[in-house]
Chains A and B, each alone.
Chain A
């Protein structure tokens, strides 16, 4: 009861995104991998590239800039180079391949340093406040993907 009221309050004052990461994260939506790709949207909706851009920059969210340089974000300081530049990546991969890469990069390279952004289990010594949560919500994955798809 209390929880519902709280949730309603959040919807009223803040964005839908906040609700996503507070509640929806504890349950990973089922997805199907075929031909090295997740072809369907995790949420059934297309992502919002403008929001996704923010997720890619945010150090507590995607933080893609920690490891990847992105020329489109050259107004942002500090681009890492642990991974390759993401310039032109949407010309090299299909949307479904990029979705899988963001959801769980370890499906294509189990030794990669790139975190799985949509996965909740199998972690070792996870800090309590992240228990049952993925780094990004399903919608945030779709948003960041929509942004990455603009990097042609």
Chain B
């Protein structure tokens, strides 16, 4: 896999060097393509910025390593957790029905907490309050399995988060975070994912940084990862101090980033480099 990837990267780099008009030629040729459901207006899923090889892995359920996590999540659904002797299925017997459309609508406003809640946090609330269990870490095997399973149930459904009403101030905070420069390299999310999608940053083709496919199975990680894990990585790459998974800062940022991808299809489990 790595081999294929680096060879391709080199080919791309050579093509760029050879081209008379360097900047732009790339983005232009990519935009001309019809991406079908993976593009809504000017917004494109990360899928459209991947190599054909990576897309093939995502397209084929038998090859997509994220599918194992979906199966894992499905069996966890009816496994008892916590002191109350309950499983998710005790209350959500028909997951396909109860969880349909849930993943693309998160983060959601929680009136009792007076702030936004991610899907992981919503799941943890049931585990702690209704099942007598301990909150799962965002990138634990159990949480990633449940998240991948719940995401897969909404496969193809458009991202649709509410950003008005009580969510509005949190949306504003997430947006401010997105445009704020940070770290020693002094870059904002927008510098890379809004100003430069389709361009090469050394070996990587920049995408729009959309999150319609999370938890995404990253070949580099050899496992799925949470949205907040990705945020931490992108913060550290510019030499900025990351926030904690589940921090208010990242929850609000997630709301804004999810909204940027409004209408894009839920793609869990997506596969990325």
Contacts and interface: CB of A to CB of B under 8 A. Distances in A.
A115 B241 CA distance: 17
Nearest to B199: A82
Interface in A117-145: 123-128, 130, 133, 135
Contacts, number: 90
Contact of B241 (A82, A84, A125): A125
Contact of B180 (A63, A84, A113, A124): A124
A58 to B, nearest CB: 12
A148 to B, nearest CB: 17
Interface string B189-231: 0011001100111110010000000000000000000000000
B42 to A, nearest CB: 19
Interface in A28-71: 59, 63, 65-67, 69, 71
B184 A80 contact: no
Given A78-B203, A82-B200, A130-B239, A113 B191 contact: yes
Number of chain A interface residues as a range: 20 to 34
Given A74-B17, A82-B196, A113-B196, A125 B182 contact: yes
Given A66-B201, A113-B192, A124-B180, A79 B16 contact: yes
B95 interface: no
A81 interface: yes
Number of chain B interface residues as a range: 20 to 34
A114 B182 CA distance: 13
Nearest to A78: B203
A83 to B, nearest CB: 8
B7 to A, nearest CB: 10
Contacts of A125: 182-183, 235, 240-241
B241 A113 contact: no
Interface string B172-189: 000000001111111100
B161 to A, nearest CB: 26
B239 A79 contact: no
A133 B183 CA distance: 12
Nearest to A74: B17
B201 A82 contact: yes
A50 to B, nearest CB: 22
A84 B186 CA distance: 20
Of the candidates A59, A81, A85, the one having the most CB atoms from chain B within 10 angstroms of its own CB is: A81
B196 to A, nearest CB: 5
A79 B12 CA distance: 9
A149 interface: no
A77 B203 contact: yes
Contacts of A89: none
A71 B17 CA distance: 7
Nearest to A120: B184
A115 B199 contact: no
Interface in A3-20: none
B16 A115 contact: no
A116 B186 contact: yes
B35 interface: no
A82 B239 CA distance: 19
Given A77-B10, A82-B201, A124-B240, 14 more contacts: A71-B17, A77-B13, A78-B13, A78-B202, A81-B22, A81-B200, A84-B22, A113-B192, A115-B185, A123-B183, A126-B241, A127-B239, A128-B241, A133-B184
Q: Which 7 A-B pairs rank lowest in CB-CB distance, beginning with the nearest?
A: A78-B203, A66-B202, A113-B191, A124-B182, A125-B241, A130-B184, A115-B185
27 contacts: A59-B202, A69-B13, A69-B17, A71-B17, A77-B10, A78-B9, A78-B10, A78-B13, A78-B200, A79-B17, A79-B202, A80-B202, A81-B22, A81-B200, A82-B201, A84-B23, A85-B22, A115-B184, A115-B187, A116-B186, A124-B182, A124-B183, A124-B186, A126-B239, A127-B183, A127-B239, A133-B184
